[in-house]
Amino acid sequence: MADMAWSDYVAMVEDTSVRTHLVEYRTRPDDGGPGQLVACALVDQLSDGLSLVYSFFDPDLSRVSPGSFIILDHVVQATTMPLPYLYLGYWVRGSEKMDYKSRFSPLEILEPSGWRLFGARDRSSAGMAE
């Protein structure tokens, strides 16, 4: 998304039949204001689930795992809607920025042959702890 022009972003979010919304995560304010923005998630609402398209957060907060918090928050949101699935979006094996996604289970990955469960053998071959 870093190389996108405004028109590319608008096309991705607005020129589609999928309902896309932005979820903001903010600190609890002391003064009744909106609080400091610390993370955002761009989310598609599909007929069978929520799809986390893109998320970003203040890098100073990485030690508290905002990406994991966003996933857990959307698990709750999908459950209350009720929608059976939460799609975590792209995961690239070996990408430090995306490895947190592989810590969730059950986790399925889409391959050319279809969806399959990401299991213990996958985790060990990717060098991940169980």
pLDDT tier, 127 (very low <50, low <70, confident <90, very high otherwise): low
Q: From CA 29, how far away is CA 16, in angstroms rounded?
A: 35
What is the per-residue pLDDT across 25-81, written as a single tens digit (0 to 9) for each?
A: 999 988 888 899 999 999 999 999 999 998 999 999 989 989 899 999 999 999 999
Render pLDDT for 82-109 as a digit per residue (tens, 0 to 9): 999 999 887 777 888 777 788 888 888 8
DSSP 38-49: EEEEEEEE-SSE
pLDDT in tens, 10-35: 776 677 778 999 999 999 988 888 89
Task: List, as own/partner pairs, every contact residues 65-70 make where C-beta atoms lie below 8 angstroms and the sequence separation is at least 24, other chains included.
Answer: 65/100, 66/25, 66/38, 66/39, 67/100, 67/101, 68/100, 68/103, 69/25, 69/39, 70/23, 70/25, 70/39, 70/41
Domains, the chain, ordered by start: 1-89 (3.40.630), 92-130 (no CATH)
